Amino acid sequence: MPSEKIDIDYVARLARIDLTEEEKVTFAEQLGNILAYVDKLNQVDVSGVEPMAHAFALENVLDDDEPGPALTVKDALRNAPAQRDNQIVVPKVVEDA
């Protein structure tokens, strides 16, 4: 298990959250403690064990291709912080996909 320090700036950037300097220090310390605690998972022999992604096994949960109702534009944009021409307004997107 990797035990190096969290690169808090990198992770905060991935998570798209601005952290204050104070938060960075606190979180880095707390997360370090949590990760140290989590380290005990290394004691478990997991060789040959299948990972469990779901609480129980179901397969082929498929829905028919039947169009249902759409939200009205009014409902779709009901909570929009900014809208124009029935669309959501966002500040200029600087190419960064």
Partner 1 sequence: MEFTADIGLEVHVQLKTKSKMFTRAPYHYGAEPNTLTDPVVLALPGVLPVMNKEAVRKTVLLGLLCKCKIAERCKWDRKNYFYPDSPKNYQLSQYDQPICEGGEVEIEMLGASRNVMGEHRMVQLTRIHLEEDVGKLTHFANDSLVDYNRAGAPLCEIVTEPDMHNADEVFAFLTALRNNIVAAGLSDCDMEKGQMRCDANISVRPKGQETLGTKVELKNMNTISGVRNAVAYEIKRQIHAVTSGEAIHQQTRRWDPVSQVTTKMRDKEESHDYRYFPEPDLMPVSIGAQQLKVLAKELPELPFDRQRRFMETLDLPYTLTSVLCPDKELADFFEEALADTGGKVAPKAVANLIANDLLRELSGGEEEGRLPLSACKLAPAHIADLTVLVEDGVITKQIAQTIFTEMYATGKMPSTLVEEKGLQAHSDDGELESIVREVAADPKHEKAISQFKDGNTKAINSLIGPIMKATQGKADPRKIQDMLAKVLG
Partner 2 sequence: MSDIIQKTAAELSQALAAKTVSAVEVAQAFIARTEAVEDRVKAFNSRDAEWTLAQAKASDERRAAGDAAGPLDGVPVALKDILAVKDQPLTCSSRMLENFVSPYDAHVTELLKAQGAVLWGRLNMDEFAMGSSTENSAFHTSRNPWNTDCVPGGSSGGSAACVAALEAPLSIGSDTGGSIRQPAAFCGVVGLKPTYGLVSRYGLAAFASSLDQIGPFARTVEDAALLLQAIAGHDRRDSTSYKTKLPDYRAALTEKEGPWTIGVPRECFAEGLDPEIKAAVQDAIAFYEKDGHTVQEVSLPMTEYAIPTYYILATAEASSNLARYDGIRYTHRSKNAADAVDLYFKSRAEGFGPEVKRRIILGTYVLSSGYYDAYYLRAQKIRTLIRQEFMQAFESVDTILTPTTPTPSFQVGAKEDPLAMYLNDIYTINVNLAGLPGISVPCGFTSSKLPIGLQLIGKPFAEDELLAVAHRYEQAHGWKDAVAQL
Cβ of 76: how many Cβ atoms within 10 Å?
Answer: 13
Q: Is 2 in the site for partner 1 (CB under 8 A)?
A: no
Q: Is 95 in the site for partner 1 (CB under 8 A)?
A: yes
Counting residues that bind partner 1 (by CB under 8 A) gives 35
Helix axes 8-15, 21-38, angle to 10 degrees: 100
Q: Which is nearer to partner 1, 25 or 82 (CB)?
A: 82
- Distance, in Å, from the CA atom of 41 to the CA atom of 12, rounded to the nearest integer, reads 25
Min separation Cβ 67 and partner 2, Å: 15
Residue from 26, 37, 96, 40 nearest 12 by CA: 26
SS3 (DSSP) at 84:
strand
Residues in region 29-88 near partner 1 by CB under 8 A: 51, 53-54, 58-71, 73, 76-77, 84-88
Binding residues for partner 1, rule: CB under 8 A, are 14, 16, 51, 53-54, 58-71, 73, 76-77, 84-93, 95-97
